[in-house]
Amino acid sequence: MSKQVVPLAVIDLNADAPCCPPLAQRRVPAETAAVLAPAFKALGDPVRLQLMSMIASAEGGEACVCDLTPAFDLTGPTISHHLKTLRQAGLVDAERRGTWVYYRARPGILRQLAALLTVAPADS
Amino acid sequence: MSKQVVPLAVIDLNADAPCCPPLAQRRVPAETAAVLAPAFKALGDPVRLQLMSMIASAEGGEACVCDLTPAFDLTGPTISHHLKTLRQAGLVDAERRGTWVYYRARPGILRQLAALLTVAPADS
DNA sequence: TCTCTGCTTAGACAGACGTCAAGACAGACA
DNA sequence: TGTCTGTCTTGACGTCTGTCTAAGCAGAGA
């Protein structure tokens, strides 16, 4: 797992414009890879991928933990742990309002990742 | 790490057309998540992200292991291990020609992943 | 056939990850 | 204020991952 999350902020993960050219267009520099790989890693678990999707596709753009937890055969702490991983990867934001905690997706970084994976329309 | 790679082939990772609507549009079903998460996981390491980029952006669409290995401060077997991971995730293909082994990216699955991460242009 | 080069596989080890149980904390309501 | 509900944090345990060294396998050339 080559070390741990690098807290580099050289790349603005919240910017709307893609930070980097597509992966297939130019070689990704080591610094960029170190920043973006943790985000891919966070999406590399089926539970987190579904959580991310549930949050991003939720009405109003945010989802309550109380809605997320029952959707899985996992305990509350485990879901909380996965949500923390998504938060640390910069993929979601959390906010407590009263009893419940609400999670909201950060579209900026999703755009960065999508842009990086973009491939020319016809060359398969 | 929630078990191991699921060998499901319900989703055609080589199809050119996206298999699934964007993650932020509709909730990703468990089966889809189980198939696509390993691909994200494979990209979740800085070394593999760079390898993938070097292969996908190489002239002629393919890269020789002999060109990839010297680009990292890692031993040959370690690079070979990472390439195997990318291969098992369906992200690249390998072919031996004479003495050297060449790796080629599979644009289909990259398109699937990019499509899944696609976000509406303006909602951040 | 023999030897050399290049890549993969096998085995081992340290560290990270996924999961759970138990406890702590924050807010709502009587 | 006291209690209840709901969520997060902490600690522990088993498994997986990333890396290395050593060994094995496949072609090329003498």
For the CA of A17 and the C1' of C12, the distance in angstroms is 46
Residue A53 with chain B: CB contacts under 8 Å: 23-24, 26-28, 33
The domain defined by B30-114 folds into: Arc Repressor Mutant, subunit A (1.10.10)
For residue B2, what pLDDT is reported? 39
| Inter-chain touch B2–A46, beta carbons under 8 Å | yes
Question: Over the stretch A16-61, which tens digit does the pLDDT of each residue have?
Answer: 555 778 999 999 999 999 999 999 999 999 999 999 999 999 988 8
State how far the Cα of B114 lies from the Cα of A63, in Å rounded to an integer.
23
A107 vs chain B: nearest CA distance in angstroms? 6
Provide the strand spans (E) within chain A: 62-64, 92-97, 100-105
* CATH no., domain A30-108: 1.10.10.10
Residue B80: what residue type? S
Return the domain boundaries, chain B.
Answer: 30-114
Q: Tens digit of pLDDT per residue, chain B (124 long)?
A: 433 443 444 455 555 555 778 998 999 999 999 999 999 999 999 999 999 999 999 999 999 999 999 999 999 999 999 999 999 999 999 999 989 999 999 999 999 999 999 987 754 3
H or E segment and range at residue B100? strand B100-105
State how far the Cα of A31 lies from the Cα of A11, in Å rounded to an integer.
9
- Taking alpha carbons only, the member of B86, B89, B92 closest to residue B106 is B92
| Inter-chain touch A45–B105, beta carbons under 8 Å | no
State how far the Cα of A106 lies from the Cα of A90, in Å rounded to an integer.
7
Q: Left (φ > 0), alpha (ψ -120 to 50) or beta: where does A15 sit?
A: beta
Closest nucleotide to the alpha carbon of A41, via C1'? C17
Strand D contact at CB of residue B1, distance < 7 A: yes
H or E segment and range at residue B80? helix B76-88
Closest amino acid to nucleotide C10 (CA–C1'): B77
| Inter-chain touch B114–A117, beta carbons under 8 Å | yes
